[in-house]
Chains A and B, each alone.
Chain A
């Protein structure tokens, strides 16, 4: 008799892709709205983007139940912060909080692949990219999720972000204008949708700048 293996997993991957690009005075965060399980589509209209604070927006792909639980924990922590400090959390502070929250569950992780976007205290765009257990880094752009392998090389080519290991420390934000960045994001997703079965349906874009936050949508291929 062969050894019995556990065939129930507490995790599921709902697919999807998230992208964020940081500019000199804006930040663009985008994610598709398809939620899948295996070869099935669960819904074509599920938002993976959540605004955590005035200047911080989180986009997460992976297991959406864990993503939702993570968002709730962060929202509660943020409320406590506001009560204590009488102000909203800054994006770098939220970045550290997210990292700590993820590592807290190091031995039963949140199956969430996160990209945090926002504006720092100088008003410059900032993007933080994470792995499932909280390792993070501030970068000029990032992509996570099922389509990330298709999108990241393209962004590397277009945005030529300097390596964070170089000295003197170089600014990670892209010199592109806001509208150019939005077009770039739309191109990324249109391409990823072609080859990644888990990406498609609709693209949700959040643009953050000094005047506030606005949303844009774009239809993607539904197959």
Chain B
């Protein structure tokens, strides 16, 4: 949906044991604070949103309550795969009632279940897909192109490399702007690691460590590729999960 395409970028990637969510935090003006785009849903699930953040907040509250109620009844964590189905069904209802409007937000849900780490993308249409890596929001095509090149290595990636790849992908969406910890937010969840948002110092240290300040792009062909691709935004480019059409 258009609302999602116009929101600022959010990126997710996963390995067998970890999921990293990253997003660009652009404030409207110098004076205002930036919007919160990454929400903790439970210890083992987190979500990054792009689009109408108000809708995203409402859905996060719904997800949190679902997790709490599930834990109350079953004394175990709600598997993320179940949660995304419930979310998708909720979104679908709004597409088939004349007095409602669809949720104007795309959600990248990262979480754990008994089999490992998973990343899902929930559309306003009610569709959802599982991804190895994905990017949504404005200028996300640049990130997707980077992720397409690297995604095969993600499954076996270490946590640090996963975060590094997230930062690199994030830099792609900034189109030449300097990547500092003040414009981005990174969150990690993994087996044995509860969902948490990394604080500014940690992120800045990682950026410095990987030397991702962003003076010149990682590959010179990126700059040429970005321009034409930014226009053709409905290029379907999911991860390795097959030819699932992406109706952004």
Smallest beta-carbon distance B127→chain A, Å = 27
In the assembly, what is the distance between CA of A73 and CA of B65, in Å?
13
A73–B73 Cα distance when bound, in Å, is 11
Please indicate the chain B residues that have their CB under 8 angstroms from the CB of A72 in the complex: 72
Contact with A along B38-80 (1 / 0, CB 8 A): 0010000000000000000000010011001101100000000
Residues of A that sit less than 8 Å from B by CB? 72-73, 76, 79-80, 83
- Starting from the known contacts A76-B68, A79-B64, A80-B64, 9 additional A-B residue pairs (CB-CB under 8 Å) come to A72-B72, A73-B72, A76-B69, A76-B72, A79-B68, A80-B65, A83-B40, A83-B61, A83-B64
Closest Cβ of chain B: how far from A75's Cβ, in Å? 8
Which residues 127-151 of B sit at the A interface, judged by CB distance below 8 A? Answer: none
Report A-chain residues with C-beta under 8 Å of the C-beta of B69. Answer: 76
Of A72, A73, A76, A83, which is in contact with the most chain B CB atoms at under 10 Å from its CB? A83
Kindly supply a per-residue 1/0 record for chain B positions 16-43, scoring 1 wherever the CB is within 8 Å of any chain A CB and 0 otherwise: 0000000000000000000000001000
Q: Whole-angstrom distance from the CB of B58 to the nearest CB of chain A?
A: 13
By a beta-carbon cutoff of 8 Å, the part of chain B in contact with chain A is 40, 61, 64-65, 68-69, 71-72
A79 cross-chain contacts in B, Cβ below 8 A: 64, 68
A-B pairs with CB below 8 Å: how many?
A: 14
Asked if B68 contacts A80 (CB within 8 A), the reply is yes
Report how far A79 CA is from B71 CA in the complex, Å.
Answer: 11
Which 9 A/B pairs are nearest by Cβ-Cβ distance?
A76-B68, A83-B64, A76-B72, A79-B68, A72-B72, A80-B68, A80-B64, A83-B40, A76-B71
Chain A residues closer than 8 Å to B65, beta-carbon distance: 80
Residue of A nearest to B67 (CB): A79
Contacts of A73 in B (CB 8 A): 72
Q: Which residues of B contact A83 (CB under 8 A)?
A: 40, 61, 64
* A87 → B minimal CB distance (Å): 13
Name A72's closest neighbour in chain B (CB-CB): B72
Considering the complex, give the chain A residue whose CB is closest to the CB of B69.
A76
Q: State how many angstroms separate the Cβ of A13 from the closest Cβ of chain B.
A: 25
With both beta carbons as reference points, the residue of chain B lying nearest to A69 in the complex is identified as B72
Expressed in whole angstroms, the minimum distance between the Cβ of A80 and any Cβ of chain B is: 6
CA separation between A72 and B64, bound complex, in Å? Answer: 16
Considering the complex, give the chain A residue whose CB is closest to the CB of B75.
Answer: A72
A80 to B65, CA, bound (A): 8
Distance in Å: Cβ of B42 to nearest Cβ of chain A: 8
Chain A residues with CB below 8 A from B40, complex form? 83
